[in-house]
Amino acid sequence: MACCINFPLRCQFDGPILSPTCKPQSIRIHQVPQMISYSNHRRRCLITAMSQTTSDNRSLPDEKMLVFVPPHPLIKHWVSVLRNEQTPCPIFRNAMAELGRLLMYEASRDWLPTVKGEIQSPMGVASVEFIDPREPVAVVPILRAGLALMEYASSILPATKTYHLGISRDEETLQPTIYLNKLPDKFPEGSRVFLVDPMLATGGTIVAALDLVKERGINIKQIKVISAVAAPPALQKLSEKFPGLHIYTGIIDPTVNDKGFIIPGLGDAGDRSFGT
């Protein structure tokens, strides 16, 4: 049984990063998974944290960007391993891969194309449903750290294609620079895309990546962003530019420092994944 609870709540993302007109929020509590929706109406911070079933998702307004934070204990565990500064490189990279697998599992609910039929089991004829191998999911990791987060994608997705996208961030200006682009000139019609970027901090990198994917014929409703940690500056920027986008992240942290790092975050995800 779903329930609805409405009460004033202090916005965790208020202050100079978001609009100072951030209003008290309502929290709708259902079962799973947790979601946070951003509305850019009049540039106000309207955040709705909710946890609901996929059937409820279809009734949500298309103009809102939704951020899903699945309340799974394994997701919390792997985020905690990633946060620990004592975690060695091999364990950090494995934790990133495990977190990515769980987030992609959650993100693929009611989203993958299927085919139905009948097969002969050892005991009789059975009606079956398979993931359609003719429509592989495009997985686009943003190098370097995206490689670690998407490492186990093929273990849960029966059919995938991987397109690498290299984007670096200037340490002074925090502006993105594209140094590798292996995206196709045009994605096949109806393609579904997982865009994988572990750290959504200032939002420059993920916005540049989304622009490139959209230029190649992908509607925003066909894209899902997978991240380990997200922060308000990136989420605000994404909500303003890409209404209707769905983001799946392990956790949302409160702020970003003047060097563009998420606080408390988990450090440089690329350096810690690859030891360089």
pLDDT of residue 17: 34
The per-residue pLDDT for 223 is 95
Q: What is the mean pLDDT of each run of 10 residues along the chain (276 residues)?
A: 33 34 32 48 38 43 85 96 95 95 93 92 95 89 92 89 89 83 91 94 93 93 96 94 95 92 91 88
pLDDT in tens, 20-55: 333 333 323 233 345 555 544 433 333 333 333 333
Strands 65-69 and 34-39: antiparallel
Beta bridge partners of 66: 37, 246
SS3 label, residue 168: strand
Domains and CATH numbers, the chain: 28-274 (3.40.50.2020)
For residues 30 and 3, is the Cβ–Cβ distance under 8 A?
yes
Give CA–CA dist 257/183, Å, rounded. Answer: 32
Q: Which two tokens stand for residue 77?
A: 């565990």
Query: Per the structure block, which two tokens stand in for 49?
Result: 């944290």
